[in-house]
Structure 1
Amino acid sequence: MQVPASFEYRRARSVDDALALLERFGEEARVIAGGHSLLPMMKLRLARPEFLVDINDLHELDYLRLEDGEVRIGALTRHRSLLESDLLGRHFPIFHDAERVIADPPVRNRGTIGGSLCQADPAEDLSAVCAAVRAVAVVLGPGGRRTVPIEDFYLGPYETAVGAGEMLVEIRVPVRPGAGSAYRKVERKSGDWAVAAAGAALSLTGGRIGWAGIGLAAVGTSLVGYRRAEQALVGREPTEQVFREAGRIAAEDCDPQTDGRGSAEYKRHLAGELTRRALLVAAERADRAPRAARSDTEEG
């Protein structure tokens, strides 16, 4: 039976209490909420935190709201809330696409967006989604609150910009008029980790692509950095040929490895094809996207 190494456990009563515990315990402390990412790694002893700070009682971090032209998502918001959110459905259907293929209902009932992003697994679905929509992470710590663009949030596999004594408290996604988004994934069985997956977002202005974002999962060590493919889209008409070319570039720039889920060549092919498909759906959705954002709130 696999069991984690010994650790101490504290249940935080507030955000300030959680930060105080993290500062007290230092670099060996980890935050835990749903636990579906951290606990399996602890059982395999790939992660060996000496202290766990449980934030499940911090209901102030469980919300979805539209504010100042951004959808703001509390770090403790559960997968199920993301899947059921009308607000995300209107502005960022890519989240619904991804949540439908993440694990199973028990995991979606407990797992959180903050835990998913902080795990920084190169095969993690919501990380690729946030890369595509250019989300911004809000990190709170002893030095105060700071915002970190998603491309700077991921420092490498299983490593983020959240430092000792800090915690991710919010994710912000800018709402762009005339935008659409989509996520496409190939998996061996329902709810499994991706063989390959692609998220895409774009906005249309005057029949041309004004902005584009792409995020890939399970095809290398990086979830971000597909700027060449994005730049190949901007200013172009949203055609099958343009999307196919962007997919080809994204496939060139990823770095998949052969493993039990498939060969590197197969995964690279999937990266290009799934990028093309996601872009096609994103463009279709952009044609019927909301043109104006209204104030809205969904509390967990």
Structure 2
Amino acid sequence: MSTPQPADLAPGTSAPLTRLRLDLSYDGTGFHGWATQPGQRTVQGELEQALSRIARIPVQVTVAGRTDAGVHARGQVCHLDLPGPVLATIPGRSDRAPADALVTRLVGLLPEDVVVHAAREVPAAFDARFGALRRRYRYRISDSPARHDPLRRDVLRHRWELDVEAMARASQALLGEHDFLSFCKPREGATTIRALEQLEWERPGPGRADESLVVATVVADAFCHHMVRSLVGTLLPVGEGRKGEDWPAQVLAARTRQSSTRTTTGAAPLCPPQGLTLDHVEYPADADLADQARAARVLRG
């Protein structure tokens, strides 16, 4: 979807478009990922269906980060464009602002595993995908039967106890700007160079959120397909003691999509999706939105 300018009009009408930002969360367990796919239940499919029913016109959304099947989100962001007259009908007979009324109406149409927390009008230069400065993911692991909570569906149950300190040390070599080809499923014509700002591991103590779990916090300007799950998948054997702390650096340097052999280091292993959550997406100030979106489009090819 192109970034509209303030004078852009709804197709086939003389009505100007208004851009809305939605902040949402979802439990990814029952979804075949974010992106719409024929015959599959997806987050985008459910959201666009609900929005189209409210607006009474087809609605498409652009998302900050497409999540895989089984991956969750607490801080997902997307945007959509609606003609002014359509937006004005959303409150009905109430005196609520259209964006506030949209959130309330979505409660009655969306399934229980998707929640839109907030909606607001944003400048036309806002782009949920290309305008983001950075994304933060968290991956949660339960590595002991004593810590397993059957009520949590956002945690990976792991069979072996992990050495969190070794994983943290091994992660340091992955920080900074690199070609993460060994950790990504590349998209034709796009770069696999990313700037990894943070890859930290901890086991929160008593009284803290996620007490006794193993939690990875991963922050970058952007991620390519499968990158976070591959980063975690590469660190797990280190935590188990099956690989040395220098192994993630070897995987990075290999820059390959080929599998490992007895004599060569191959692409990173992929960990399961259920422990992964998109936690937060950060955007610049409104005055810098257009510049950030232009720069990101050039950088991503």
User: Please, what TM-score do these two structures have when normalized by structure 2?
Assistant: 0.26
Instruction: Indicate the structure whose relative CO is greater, using CA pairs within 8 Å and at least 6 residues apart.
Output: 2
Tell me the TM-score normalized by structure 1. 0.26
- The structure whose residues are more often helix, as a share, is 1
